[in-house]
A and B are shown apart, each in its own frame.
Chain A
Amino acid sequence: MSTTTTRVEESRGRVRPGGKRLVALVGRVRELGLIVVLLVIVALVGLQTPRFLTPGNFEQILLSIAILAIVAVGETMVILTRNVDLSVGSTVGMTAFVCADVLKNHPQTPVILIILLGCALGAVLGAVNGLIVALGRVPAIVATLGTLYLYRGLDSYIAGGTQVSAYDVPDSFLSLATTHILGVPALIVFAAAIALIFAYLLRATRTGRELYALGSNPEAARLAGLRAERLIFLTFLLCGLLSGFAGVLWGARFATVDSGAATGLELQVIAAVVVGGVNIFGGSGTILGAMLGAIVLGTIDNALTLLKLSQFWLQAIDGAAILAAVTLDALITRWLQHRLRGGRQR
């Protein structure tokens, strides 16, 4: 994230020597901060309930956020370009239902085909978002609010009040969510692999860096010759594809799927991304940060359960975490801008 900000700033000829290093440092501090917060929670809760510290419990925390984390990877890329995708919950819900329903009617379908079907359907839904936002120039928050309801409505129409139950789908599909790969639950392996792949792509590829440039300063990026529409379309497509894959896993994990599946997931995803330090106005933030954000929220959730506190506290604490993260980001940004410009403007 940081290097691009610097490059854009440099092109304006404003940056002080050493600014690049400073920005990079702050970026790292932001993620280190999350890790510190996480360790503090773990230590405090661990003192209260030793069972919190068992490997089995950490596995449960990661399992509980694995599906959300996969969607958060896609959402991070969309938000980096100064857009947002509110339709991910509906996309997950629709792919979950369609895939489970196909299996209900054709139990012999190989699971790999179902996964491909989910990804393809998700990619189509994402592409529709991308077309509306990139070509139609409709603000993403409005466009995807529309498709949030549109996709959910389509889902309800397809489902028509029916439900797929665990008895209707083959065990090979359900085992997608319960099987282990080298001793680690498959859901966690999938989420970690996707996060690592996309983190690498964002960091090391030209297209990845262009997403940051576009989000940092859209006009400058356009003037520099970036094909903004193509990039925006691509992020929505990938976000839809990842949501589609998450939908398949959703069906396997919860086994009972109706047209209401994953309602409201979009807000949990955006919460994780924002707590993870991804700037809601685009241009900065990392996949690693978003994953840490999801883990922090998942850990708080788990800790409240183990401390036997009322679940009614959970939403308030999640909200406080979001506010804290956003406030911190605003303060860091302001301080950074001050430091970077400081030398000349005085």
Chain B
Amino acid sequence: MKTLLRTLLTALSVAMLLMLAACGGSSSSGSGSSGGSSASLNIAFLPKAINNPYFDTAANGAKQAATELKGQFKQVGPTESSAAAQVPFINTLTEQHVSAIVVSANDPNALAPALKRAMQQGIKVVSYDSDVAPDARQIFVNQANSEDIGRIEVQILGKLINYSGDIAILSAASTATNQNTWIGYMKDELTKPQYKNMHLVKIAYGNDDDQQSFQQTLGLLQAYPDLKGIISPTTVGLAAAARAIESVGKGGKVMLTGLGTPNLMRKYVKDGTCPEFALWNPADLGYLAYYAAAALVEGKITGKPGESFNAGKLGTKTIGPNNVVLLGPPTVFNKDNIDQFNF
């Protein structure tokens, strides 16, 4: 009995070793062929978190691009926004030898070592939505100029509160690359003379979690009873802030703006809690990121500034300084145009 068991176990381990060897062989031959003339597009998207409608909309755009280019698309990612949770996914994708990883970073530096390892193995790395350290990716597909995004939110809020009163910001994670860049430009915009009566009293962090963002908004309203306006440059934060403001009967009294998706904000735009907000079209962002990654994989570009590539329905895009490709100016949504959008 015992010897039978041992024989079985040995046979099993030999079989597993053979399978491992076979896998290694097949994937290395796969990458060999992708280096050849007919490049296979096996592009994986790694958003900050899955099950987030913003990233799902981006994924739909990427899928459309994949169909147009006859490539493969898949999306993997953690269920909560954290850099630590993203690293294992990068390592797995590296082992799988996908042809490109398209990533939105929860932290610019924490992901860099894993992404660099992927690049050393010949995998192309494109960041989208939220950048990683520049030496850990070939191209960053920027949804919109960070400066435009930061400034436009202050401009909208200024208009809503008549350029006077205390304001606060409800951000995502305190380490989020994109939010922190935008907040930097918001602060800069606020130094202009027309905003001299607007005072930024607090930056709160809701970690892109409904409950935390909700509580943080209530906290802002409690701690600063004279608060006139809130900017929330994150889709989760903006919807949670709107609900929180409404739940204490301050809708229309405390003005809210920020970055949001039309579907989440439709009710609050119509009832006046959040009369105007901005965003780019995430589907176009995913679409452009896929085209950029495909152009890299197919060797049409190397990611250097000045190179151009065809981005399907978006036309020809040129890589700018710091290897950044820009999607375009942000769109402002209000009650007049919100019903034209469904994402």
Which A residues contact B (CB, under 8 angstroms)?
A: 51, 57, 60, 64, 152, 156, 159, 161-163, 165-167, 177-178, 253-263, 301-302, 305-306, 308, 311
Contact = CB atoms under 8 A, between A and B. Distances in A.
Contacts of A156: 51, 79
A305 B82 CA distance: 24
Contacts of A167: 263-264, 266-267
Contacts of A166: 239, 242-243, 264, 267-268
A167 B216 CA distance: 22
B232 to A, nearest CB: 13
Nearest to A169: B267
A178 B214 CA distance: 14
B240 A60 contact: no
A95 B180 CA distance: 35
Contacts of B265: 165
A161 B246 CA distance: 26
**Interface-centre pick from A152, A259, A260, A261 (highest chain B CB count, 10 A):** A260
B51 A305 contact: no
B15 to A, nearest CB: 30
B109 interface: no
5 contacts: A64-B218, A156-B51, A161-B52, A260-B79, A305-B223
Nearest to A301: B215
A161 B53 contact: yes
Interface stretch (B30-38, B84-92, B126-134, B202-210): B202-210
Interface in B5-59: 49-53, 56
B193 interface: no
B340 to A, nearest CB: 15
A244 B248 CA distance: 25
Contact of A306 (B53, B80, B222, B264): B222
A165 B222 contact: no
B205 A311 contact: yes
Contacts of B181: none
B134 to A, nearest CB: 29
Given A64-B218, A263-B209, A308-B223, 16 more contacts: A51-B222, A60-B218, A64-B215, A161-B50, A165-B239, A165-B267, A166-B242, A166-B267, A253-B214, A254-B240, A256-B236, A256-B239, A259-B79, A302-B222, A305-B219, A306-B223
Contacts of A254: 210-211, 214, 240, 243
A60 B79 CA distance: 30
B247 interface: yes
A177 B222 contact: no
A260 B80 contact: yes
A256 B240 contact: yes
Contact of A260 (B51, B215, B216, B263): B51
Interface residues of B, number: 36
A113 B240 CA distance: 26
Contacts of B215: 64, 301
B204 A163 contact: no
B315 interface: no
Contacts of A308: 202, 223
Contacts of A262: 211
B225 interface: yes
B56 A161 contact: yes
Contacts of B268: 166
Given A60-B218, A64-B218, A263 B243 contact: no
Contacts of A152: 79
B9 to A, nearest CB: 27
Contacts of A260: 49, 51, 79-80, 209-210
A168 to B, nearest CB: 8
Shortest 6 CB-CB contacts between residues of A and residues of B: A305-B219, A167-B267, A167-B266, A255-B243, A166-B267, A256-B239
Interface string B234-261: 0010011011001110000000000000
A215 B73 CA distance: 53
B212 to A, nearest CB: 9
A318 to B, nearest CB: 13
A332 B135 CA distance: 58
Contacts of B225: 51
B218 A259 contact: no
A60 B53 contact: no
Given A308-B202, A311-B204, A256 B264 contact: yes
Nearest to B219: A305
A165 B80 CA distance: 19
A163 B264 contact: yes
B267 A258 contact: no
Contacts of A263: 79-80, 209
B53 A258 contact: yes
A256 B243 contact: yes
B240 A305 contact: no
Contact of B216 (A253, A256, A311): A311
